[in-house]
Amino acid sequence: MASSYIILIFLLTGYCAAVGSEKCSISLNSAIHPITHPTSWTSPSGHFAFGFYQEGGGFKVGIWMVRKSQNTTVWTANRDDPPVSSNAALELTPDGQLVLKIGPGETELIANSSDSASCAAMDDAGNFILYNQHSEVIWQSFNFPTDTLLGGQSLPTGAELHSSVSWTNHSTGRFRLRMQYDNNLVLYPKDTLTSGIDAYWASNTCCYVQPVHFHLYLNFTGALLLLDNSGEYAVISDLDTSSVNHNSTIYRLILDSGGILQLYSHRFAENGDDVVSLMWTQPDNKCGVKGLCGFNSYCTMEDEQPVCRCFPGTDYVDSTNQFSGCERNFKEEWCRDARENSSSFTFKSIDQVYWQDPPYFQVTMEVADCNMSCLEDCDCEVALYDFKKGTCMKQKLPLMYAWTVPEKSFRAFFKVGLEGIEAANTNNSNSLLRVLEYKKIVESGNFGLTEELALRPFSYKELKRATNGFKEELGKGSFGAVYKGTLYRGKRVVAVKRLEKLLNEGEREFRAEMSIIGTTNHRHLVRLLGFCAEASKRLLVYEYMSNGSLADLLFRSERHPDWNERMRIALEIARGILYLHEECDTPIIHCDIKPQNILMDDFWAVKISDFGLAKLLMPDQTRTFTVIRGTRGYMAPEWHKGTPISVKTDVYSYGIMLLEIVFCRRHMDVNASTPEEIVLSSWVYGHFRDGELDKLVLGEEVDKWLLEKLVKVSLWCIQDEPALRPSMKSVVMMLDGTTEISVPPCPTAATV
């Protein structure tokens, strides 16, 4: 490590020295033009130029690598502005501003600096620099990368590269590379959340060094590194370039228009010819790039290139653009009953196609039954069958992130309208009858598939009417309140959460709950029925929990649940959290496990709720950095230490809550009889250590062996060091009695 660190410092300081000694060749009042000489300012070696390059029917300002075969653009100024005409001019003005003069009286700032430049230079690393009168750098293009990093260039924490539309259009494209604050380098489609659901490649360097942050650095020998300010680093790509003459080789990292991250080397000969080599690329699967194909289309490889094909029953939205997505090519009828529906449609299937969109229905059944179930379901538009698991998954369109996966045994059945289906709508009275009958079905709330419905979109007016103007409040959280409501003419009681806090935070919670609850299916997780996303209004509709929360049961009820009921509740909660941690496609950290977020249904079964603060991990990720979230008293110590969080964060919260379940009191009680009783964990540990746990449950019949077992589990869960805490799988096994439990050390929480 030490020798590597010395080399890195040499490379970094070597570059700084090169910049300091670079000849300041561009003076004030210098100008260049698109077609009139000079059209660019070149670097001393001639390998790079800054100026006008042709794009479309006009010109853009940028930097390119000068090559005999074809110049390669590496940076573009104001990339999303339209090209300018041949009458434009780029000028370093007498007052030290770098501006683009588009036409009479119309100028555009290229370099935004509070200081005035005295001169400028295009250096041999591909960096265009402005200097002040003290020869200090006041602006440089390296600080504002577009889709490319060059040798000696960094991507700071929180910054992004954005792909271009194409090789000939350098406007912002559809993909981004983000250097995250959790030290992960991640690829996403543009305009998506920074979550595991949308990510399609990651460096898996999260939490490599704590708590400092990395920045991405491409050095002059082609190594792609993550560095911090102390010299610690992680290697993304470490190529053997020992035989390469680095003085004549330029390295270039680009996020290409197809969402692939590629590292190239350009080896220049004395006559100016260059040999281009692809040194490294990620991801390997071009069809694994999420967002490459639009809605209702899937990616497949043809002649080693990704191609987007429409699902059966759909056509391209734009026939000239295969990436535009697809839309229905037949007219859909109102669905009146199963028999009519099945006679109006047929199926077309595709083998070995897969997507990650969550199904609204997932059950083990035979493939023929799966086919028929979808055909007779008004809401089902496609069924995905997994032959290995024998699982049928029904879904509605649109679908996204779909691709062919040869190694997976999937078959997708798409519902397609039969020929002549439009003829059935020619009779107006018949159409009106269908509308009225469908409205009657909706109002009754009986679709014939009560547990198989997809998420239903609601209007704000519907939900306002359902809640009687948001009159009966069931509870309030950090992002808004939950109200009781009725749908389908009072036949179904629901809980409506209205997000009311600042728009960006409310939007984040809305998206989090939609993406997380939408991908989960477990008997101990609350069920999301629908949503409203109308203008800035964001509401979520859940199944109603008639028996309130666990907090009501433990802390407010006149009659506490008996010992056996409390043991059942503790085990059901553990199983629900285990599902989130280990049984979902994407591991989920709830981040706010507490009795207020454990609801009880009509049969007193547990339902975990409130996923607005939850954090999704990458499929292979175990830890992550994120902003502090949760509820004081239930938050693990790592939240306050600036160290990464993991699923063990939920384990800690569960341990605190388990003590509350066992002893039917809050973890912190300032009105306790004695100071020793104020902090529950401290009070319990003292009696556990002294072998006197029975004194804490006077007046209640409990199994002393079971009591000690539950206290042991709790104390292990609230250990200060996450590595000492058990996984939720181990917790479930301990509660089930299938695993022996050793004596836990004193946790820090018990010494507060």
The Cα 440–Cα 367 span in angstroms is 32
Give the mean pLDDT of 514-526.
Answer: 72
CA atoms within 13 Å, Cβ hemisphere of 498: 20
Question: In this structure, what are the phi and psi dihedrals at residue 240, rounded to the nearest 5 degrees?
Answer: -80, 100
Give the mean pLDDT of 717-731.
Answer: 93
Give the confidence band of 291 by pLDDT, cuts at 50, 70, 90. Answer: very high
Give the confidence band of 59 by pLDDT, cuts at 50, 70, 90. Answer: very high
Query: What does the block give as tokens for 728?
Result: 């939720």
The Cα 682–Cα 749 span in angstroms is 7
Sign of the alpha-carbon dihedral angle for 301, 306, 308, 311: positive
pLDDT surpasses 90 at 13:
no
The Cα 240–Cα 28 span in angstroms is 44
pLDDT value at residue 121: 96
Q: Which helix (H) or strand (E) holds 268?
A: strand 261-268
Q: What's the farthest any 2 CA atoms get from each other in the chain?
A: 97
pLDDT (tens digit per residue) in 16-29 = 334 444 468 899 99
Q: Are 249 and 264 in contact (CB under 8 A)?
A: no
pLDDT surpasses 80 at 35:
yes
pLDDT greater at residue 295 or residue 499: 295
pLDDT value at residue 440: 41
Burial of 189-213, coded b for 16+ CB within 10 Å and e otherwise, reads beeeebbbbbbbbbbbbbbbbeeeb
Give the length of the chain. 752
pLDDT surpasses 50 at 404:
yes
Pick the CATH number of 1-144 from 2.90.10.10, 2.60.120.260, 3.40.50.2300, 3.40.1440.60: 2.90.10.10
The Cα 534–Cα 513 span in angstroms is 17
Q: In the chain, what are the domain boundaries?
A: 1-144, 297-424, 456-543, 550-751
CATH superfamily of the 550-751 domain: Transferase(Phosphotransferase) domain 1 (1.10.510.10)
Residues 6+ apart with CB under 8 A from 552: none
pLDDT greater at residue 337 or residue 665: 665
Give the mean pLDDT of 609-629.
Answer: 63
The Cα 515–Cα 591 span in angstroms is 16
Percent of the chain predicted with pLDDT > 70: 81
- Triad 334, 335, 337: Cα angle to 5°: 145
| Interstrand relation of 528-534 and 537-543 (parallel, antiparallel or unpaired) | antiparallel
pLDDT surpasses 60 at 351:
yes
pLDDT greater at residue 616 or residue 395: 395
Most confident of 406-420, 468-482, 604-618, 709-723: 709-723
Give the confidence band of 176 by pLDDT, cuts at 50, 70, 90. Answer: very high
Q: Are 467 and 484 in contact (CB under 8 A)?
A: yes
Q: Are 55 and 83 in contact (CB under 8 A)?
A: yes
497 is in an annotated binding site: yes
- Beta strand ranges found along 664-728 (DSSP E): none
Q: Comparing 119-128, 531-540, 594-603, which segment has the lowest mean pLDDT?
A: 531-540
Q: Which residues are catalytically annotated?
A: 592
pLDDT greater at residue 429 or residue 635: 635
Nearest one of 596, 574, 508 to 736, comparing CA atoms:
574
pLDDT (tens digit per residue) in 549-564 = 999 999 876 778 888 8
pLDDT greater at residue 651 or residue 504: 651
pLDDT surpasses 80 at 347:
yes
Give me the CATH topology for the region 456-543. Phosphorylase Kinase; domain 1 (3.30.200)
Q: What is the dihedral angle through the alpha carbons of 556, 561, 562, 566, rounded to the nearest 10 degrees?
A: -110
Average model confidence (pLDDT) for the chain? 82
Give the confidence band of 194 by pLDDT, cuts at 50, 70, 90. Answer: confident
Most confident of 72-76, 333-337, 643-647: 72-76
Most confident of 308-312, 379-383, 402-406: 308-312
The Cα 4–Cα 227 span in angstroms is 12
pLDDT (tens digit per residue) in 229-280 = 776 677 777 665 555 565 789 999 999 999 999 999 999 887 778 889 999 9
Query: What does the block give as tokens for 486?
Result: 């009725």
